[in-house]
Structure 1
Amino acid sequence: MDDGFAGSRRGRPRAGERAGREDAIIDAALAELAEVGWDRFTMAGAARRAGASTETLYAWFGNRDGLIRRMVQRNADLSAAVVHEELRNGTGTRDLRGTLVAYARGLLDLLTGPVSLMLNRAAITQPELAEVLRSEGRLRIGPLVGRYLGERHAAGELHCPDPEKCFTVLYGLVVRDLQIGVLLGAERPDDAALQARAEEAVELFLRLHSGR
C-alpha cells in the first residue's frame, strides 16, 4: 500500500502531511462505513479504500473503536466549522444570524446523513458506541457553541446569561423530532427544506434571545 509519504524523511509524514493524510483516511473510512455497514466495517477495509497500510491505521488510531471515535469527532467538528472559525478569528467577523444559520444547517446535515443514521441505529445495541456519539458529538460541540453564544451575549447581540441553556434551546429548535423521524424511516428532507428549517430555527431563537 502507498501511504503517500515517500517524500518525507525516514518515510514519516511531516505535521502538515499527517493532518492532510489523516483527513483523507477518515473520508475513505466514512465512505467504507456508508457502503458496507457497521457490522462489516473493518480496519483492513478502510485501509484498502484509503490506499493506506493497515499498520498505519493501527498506529494512528489504535483500533477500530479509535478510528470510529476519530470519525465521529471529525464529523462533529465539520458540522460546527463556522463556530470554530469565529472563535479562532474573533467573534463578530461574521454576522450573528449567518453564523447561527450555518451552524444549524451543518447540524441538520450531520444528523440526517447516512453515516450518522447508521451509527445511531447501531448505538441502540452498542453501549460503547452510544457513549462515543454522545461524548464526541453534542457533549463536545455544545460547550463550543455555548462559548460563542456567551461571547455574543457579552457583545450585546444576544441575551444569553446562561450560554449552556441557550445552546440547549437552539439545539432543540433546530433538531426537534427530525432525526428521530428519519431514523424511524421518514424521508430525509431535501436541501431546500433543510435550509428553510435552519433559518426558521434561528429566527425563533433570536426572537427568544435577542439582545436588542
Structure 2
Amino acid sequence: MTNPATESQAEALTPRQLAVLDAVLGLMVEKGDQLTMAAVARRASCSKETLYKWFGDRDGLLTATVQWQASKVRAGNYDRQKLDALSLRDSLIRFAVNWLEVISSPTSIALNRLAISHAATHESNLGGIVLANGRFAIGERLRPLLEDGREAGLLDFDDAETAFRTFFGLVGRDVQIRLLLGDALKLSAAEIERDAARAADQFLALHGRAKPAPKA
C-alpha cells in the first residue's frame, strides 16, 4: 500500500533536484493541469533530458513531488524507551501541526485539486500517486508512534490503522475539503498549533489510558 522507502528517497534528493520539485509545485499553483516536462525544464533552468534522467517520466516527477510534500509530515522526535504521556502528546501535536501546515499551503491545494480531477477522468495516475505517497505513506509514518504508545501502556486501541483514521479526522476536520472547494480559509501559526493540540487531546481522551498498564 505504501513504499517504505518514500521518506528516505525524499531526503536523498539534492538541492538542485529539490529546486526542480519547487518548480513543479509553482507551476501547479499557476497553471493547474498545464504541467509538462518542457514547462518544468524551463522554470527550473535545466534540460528535459536531465529531468528524465533524475525522475523518469512525468509520473516519476509527480511521484517525487508528492513524496517530498508528504515527507514534511512526521511525528516529533521521541525516545522509544522513555516514551511517556507528555512526549506522546507532544509527538502527536508535532505531527498534526506538520500536516495542517502542508494541507493548507497553496501548493498542496493545487496538487490535490489536480489529483482529484485526474482521478475523475482517468487522465493519468496522479490520483493513485497522491493516495499512495500522501495519505497512505503518512499513515505508515505515524503507525510506529501509535504502536509504541500502546506498548508503553499509554494508548488503548485494537487496530493502528483505525486509530490513525480517528486521529486524522480529528486533525483535519473540514479544513481540507473547504480549502479544495475554494474557501478563503487562512490558518495562522497560532491557530494551527491550537487546533493540533485540541486534536491530540481529543484523541487521547478516546484512546489514552489514565494510567500506563504494567508491561507483561
Decide: shared fold, TM above 0.5.
yes
Q: Percent identity among equivalent residues?
A: 36
Residue 18 to residue 107, structure 1, CA distance change in 2 (3 Å): closer
Tell whether 2:137 aligns with 1:145: no
How many residues end up aligned between the 2 structures? Answer: 192
Q: Which amino acid aligns with 2:127?
A: A
The aligned residue for residue 126 of structure 2 is 129
Higher relative contact order structure (alpha carbons within 8 Å, sequence separation ≥ 6) = 2
Structure 1 unaligned runs (5+)?
Answer: 1-15
Maintained 8 Å contact 2:104/2:187: no
Counterpart in 1 of 2:4?
A: none
Whether 1:193 aligns to 2:191 is yes
**Equivalent-residue separation in structure 1 for 2:81 and 2:139 (angstroms):** 17
Q: Which amino acid in 2 is paired with 1:125?
A: S
- Measured after TM superposition, the shift of residue 18 of structure 1 is 5.5
1:32 has 2:27 as partner: yes
Corresponding residue to 1:79 among 73, 80, 83: 73
1:47 aligned to 38, 41, 52, which one?
Answer: 41
Deviation at residue 22 of structure 1 after TM alignment = 2.4
CA distance in 1, matches of 2:191, 2:161: 28
Alignment check: 8 A CA contact 2:41 2:48 kept: yes
List per-residue Cα deviations over 1:72-95 (Å, max 9, x = no partner).
111011122x35x55xx7475781
Distance in 1 between residues matched to 2:14 and 2:154, nearest whole Å: 36
- Kindly indicate whether residue 170 of structure 2 is the aligned counterpart of residue 173 of structure 1: yes
Match of 2:61 among 59, 67, 79: 67
2:203 alignment partner in structure 1: 205
Q: TM-score, with normalisation over the residues of structure 2?
A: 0.78
Give the 3 Å change call, closer, same or farther, for CA 193–91 of structure 1 in structure 2. farther
